[in-house]
Structure 1
Amino acid sequence: MARTDLPALAALGRRRFLLGGAAIGAGAVLAGCTGNEPESTSEGQAAAPAGDNAETGRAVTIGFSAPAADHGWMAAITDNAESRAEQFEDVTLEATEGTNDPSAQIAAVETLLNGGIDALVILPFDGNALTEIGRRATDQGIPVINLDRVFSTPLAYRTYIGGDNYGMGVAAGNFIGQQLRDAGVSNPIIGEIAGIDALPLTQDRSRGFREALATFGFQVGPRQAAEFTVESGESVTANLLQAAPRLDALWNHDDDQGIGVLAAIDNAGRDEFIMVGGAGSANAMELIQSGDSVLKATVTYPPTMAGDAVSLARLVAQGRGMSDLVEPSIPSSIVVASGTVTADNVEEYLPLGFRS
C-alpha cells in the first residue's frame, strides 16, 4: 500500500477522462483514447481501454497473486484483475488461489515463475515478507507490477500502483473539519476507527487525517485500531463509544469493517455525530444516498486499480508505453487519487462501488 517514501510521481495532468468525476485515475491514463467518459459495468470495472494501447500486440501470460478474497474490497481486487484480462485478446491471466499466509503466497508465486509468465501482478499480503520473491522475479527478467501493499525496496518491482492512503486521511479530515466548522462546533470530539496499525497504509491514513484536521485547529480524540473485518470493527467501536459518551464526528478507515462499526453505533443508539467511511463500497454509498444514516461520506480507495495493474503488466511485457505520455516507457509508480463521495455526487461514484 502507499507509503511516504515512494519515488516522486511525474505529474500526469488532466487527460481525457475524469474517473468518477474527480481527479484522474490510472485507468484513464492507460486508456489513451479520444472518447468521452468510460462506461462502467455493474461490477464497478471500468470499460476496456481504447486507442493505441488497446491494439492487439504480442500474446503475453500475466501471473496474478493476491491475498484471500475474504472481504469485499479484496474480492473486488481479484474480480477487477480478471475482468480486465478478459478484455484483451493478447492476455492470458494465470491467477493463484488467494491466501493470507505469506509462505503460501511465496510458494504460489514460485509456481507462476516456474511456469514461464511474461509479467507478474502481485498484491502481497505482507510487502516486507514478499519482497524477496519480487526481487527473484525481477532478477529473472520478469517485470513485476507491485499492487497496493508495497515491497520494502523498489528493486523488487518495475512499477508500483496503489491508492493514496495519505490522501484518504486528508480527504476525510477536510470533510469533517469543514462540516464541523460550518456547523459552528468548537472544540469537537473526533473519533477514529483505524485499520491494522502495523501496516504503513494505516499509519499514512491516520497521519493524513490528523494533519488535515490540524488545519482547522482540531485534533483526533478517541482512536481505536481494528483489523479490516466486520467483527473487529464492531468490537472496537463498541469500546470507543462506551469510553466516549459524546462524539461530534467519526472516521472509519474501511467500509468493510464499517459494517461492524455501524452495527455497534446502532446497538448503542448513538446518532449525535457524523461519520465518514473509507474505500468506497456500494453499501456505504447507498447509505449516504438514503440520508438515513450517520454515515455522510466515504473517501475512495478504488479496487479498479487491479485492472489498471493488469493493463500496465501487459504494456510492459509487450515493450510498449502509455499512448498519452511522451515518454516511451510506463512510469515507475502511479498513485490513484482518493475522491470524497457525498450525497451531492454519490450517483457518479456508485457504479464503481464494490459490495461489502
Structure 2
Amino acid sequence: MPETSRRGLLFGTAAIGAGALLTACTSNEKKDEPAANEQPVDDKPGKAVTIGFAGPQADHGWLAAINANARAQAKKYSDVTLDITEGSNDTAAQIGQIDSLINKKVDVLVILPADGKALTQAGLKAMRAGIPVINLDRIFADPQAFRCYVGGDNYGMGVNAGKYIGEKLKDKPNATVIELSGPDSLELTKQRTQGFDDALKNYPNIKKVARQAADFTVESGQAKMAQLLQAQSKFDALWNHDDDQGVGALRAIDQAGRDGFLMVGGAGAKSAMDAIKADNSVLKATVLYPPIMASTAIDLARALGQGKGVSGMAGLEIPAQVTLFSAVVDKDNVDEYLPQGFS
C-alpha cells in the first residue's frame, strides 16, 4: 500500500519530519507573550472542531488500540466532537465511509486506510473539498492526499530488532536467525525487513537463514512458525514482526517443544510484555509500534481545525510529518512500558 519510508530524525518518542523541536520562549520574554513567530497554544477550550475518523476494521489488537486511543484523546477536549466510522477492510466500503464524512463537512479527517494506495483518491477528494487530512500509519501514494502524516518508524523498528539480536549474539560464531514477517503486500513489512537486514550487516557472524510471511493473525503466525520450525532444526534468534501473530508463533514453538533461541516481537502488546516480564519463554523483547499515534493524530487534527500550531514548535502550522520512535522493551525496562501495552 505503498507507504514511503519514514526515517526522520528521532527526538525522544517522536520524530518531526517537517519542523524542528525548539525551546520555549527565552527567560527574558514575558510568559504571557508568545514569540513573534508563534501563536499561543494551550489545552484551554477553543473553536469547536468536528474530527472525522475512518479506519479499517478493528480485527487486530493494535487496530483496536488505535480506535481506543483516538476516542480517549478526543474525550479530553470539550471542544472536539469525534465522528468515527465503523471501520472496514473492504476498500469500497471504506471509501464510502470517507465520502459520508466529507458530505457531513467535518472540519478535519483522520484516515488510517486499510490500503494506502487504494484509498489515495479518497484522501485527494477530501483535500480538494477543503477538508484537511491527517493520514495515519499507512501512507497514501500521493502526498497531496494529506496535510500531515502520523505513523510509526517501520524501518527503525527492523533496525532496532536487528541491533538487539545482534548485540545478544555478537560473540557467538556462525549465529543464525530467522524472520516471521507480516504480509509482503504491505510496504511496511518490506521496510521492517529492510531495517532488520541492514542492522545485521553490522554483525558479520550472524546470518539470516529463513523467512516466512504471516498475516498479522494468531492463526497465520502459528501455521507459518510451524513451517519455519520444521525447516530449521536449529537457529539462535527469531524476529517476529507482530505480537498478535506472535501468540500463534509461541503456540507452535511450545507444541514443537523447541527452545534454545531468543525471540523478539513487534508492536508492544500487553501479552508480549507480560511474557517478557515473566521471563519464562523464548520471548525476550518486543519492539514498539505505538498505537498512541492515534492520540497524536487527534491532537494535531484539533490544532489544525483551530488554526493553531503545536506547542514547543516553531511556526503557525502543525508539522507535515510525525514519526514515533520504536523503542525496544525487554526485562530491564518492561515495567516502564507496561502501561502502554495494548490488549
Instruction: Report the TM-score, using the length of structure 2 for normalisation.
Output: 0.91
Which piece of structure 1 moves more, 212-221 or 344-353? 212-221
Pair 1:139 & 2:128 matched:
yes
Using a 3 Å threshold, how does the CA distance of structure 1 residues 278 and 269 change in structure 2: closer, same or farther? same
Q: Distance in 2 between matches of 1:285 and 1:200?
A: 26
Q: Kindly provide the amino acid, as one letter, of the partner of residue 288 in structure 1.
A: I
- Secondary structure at the residue paired with 1:128? coil
Residue of structure 1 in register with 2:156 after alignment: 167
In the alignment, which residue of structure 2 is the partner of 1:153? 142
> How many angstroms apart in 2 are the aligned matches of 1:339 and 1:320?
30
Q: 1:230: Cα distance to partner?
A: 0.4
Q: What is the deviation of 1:77? A: 0.3
Summarize the Cα distance change of 1:195–1:168 in structure 2 as closer, same or farther, 3 Å threshold: same
* 1:202 and 2:189 correspond: yes
Question: Aligned with 2:119: secondary structure?
Answer: helix
Q: What is aligned with 2:282?
A: 294
Structure 1 pair 12/246, CA: closer, same or farther in 2 (3 Å)?
closer
- 1:306 equivalent in structure 2: 294
Q: After superposition, where does 1:259-338 map in structure 2 within 5 Å?
A: 259-338=247-326
Q: Please state if 1:230 is matched with 2:218.
A: yes
Is the 8 Å Cα contact of residues 288 and 342 (structure 1) preserved in structure 2?
A: yes
2:66 and 2:291 in contact (8 A); partners too:
yes
Q: Identity percentage over the alignment?
A: 52
Deviations 1:242-261, CA, capped at 9 Å, x for gaps: 00000100010000111001
Shift of the 153–317 alpha-carbon distance from structure 1 to 2, 3 Å rule, reads same
Residue 188 (structure 1) shift: 1.3
Report if aligned partners of 1:26, 1:308 keep a CA contact under 8 Å in 2.
Answer: no
Q: Give the structure 1 partner of residue 230 of structure 2.
A: 242
Structure-1 residue corresponding to 2:33: none
Deviation at 1:327, TM superposition (A): 1.6
Partner of 2:97: 108
Larger radius of gyration between Structure 1 and Structure 2:
2
Q: Given the alignment of the two structures, is residue 74 of structure 1 paired with residue 69 of structure 2, yes or no? A: no
Q: Is the 8 A contact 1:3 1:204 kept in 2?
A: no
Structure 1 runs (4+) deviating above 2 angstroms are 1-6, 23-27
- Distance across 2 between alignment mates of 1:267 and 1:12: 40
Two-structure CA RMSD over aligned residues (Å): 2.0
Distance in 2 (CA, whole Å) between partners of 1:219 and 1:269 is: 24
Find the counterpart in structure 1 of residue 46 from structure 2. Answer: 57
Query: Within 1, Cα distance between the matches of 2:15 and 2:79?
Result: 21
Q: Cα–Cα, structure 1 residues 295 and 2, in superposed 2: closer, same or farther, change >3 Å?
A: farther
In the TM superposition, what whole-angstrom CA distance separates every residue of 1:288-345 from its partner, at most 9, and x where no partner exists?
0011010000000000100110111110111100120112111111110100001000
Task: Mark the runs of 5 or more structure 2 residues left unpaired by the alignment.
Answer: 25-39
Residues of 2 paired with 1:2 and 1:263: CA distance?
Answer: 32
Q: Residue 88 of structure 2 aligns to which amino acid in structure 1?
A: T
- Give the superposition deviation at 1:3: 4.2
Q: Cα gap change, 1:277/1:2 in structure 2, threshold over 3 Å: closer, same or farther?
A: farther
In the alignment, which residue of structure 2 is the partner of 1:36? none
Deviation at 1:214, TM superposition (A): 1.0
Q: Distance in 2 between matches of 1:159 and 1:136?
A: 15
Counterpart residue identity of residue 349, structure 1: Y
Q: Distance in 2 between matches of 1:12 and 1:67?
A: 28
**2: CA distance between counterparts of 1:331 and 1:314?**
13
Give per-residue Cα distances to partners, 1:110-164, cap 9 Å, x unaligned. 0011011000001000000100010000001101000000000110000000000
Query: TM-score with structure 1 length normalisation?
Result: 0.87
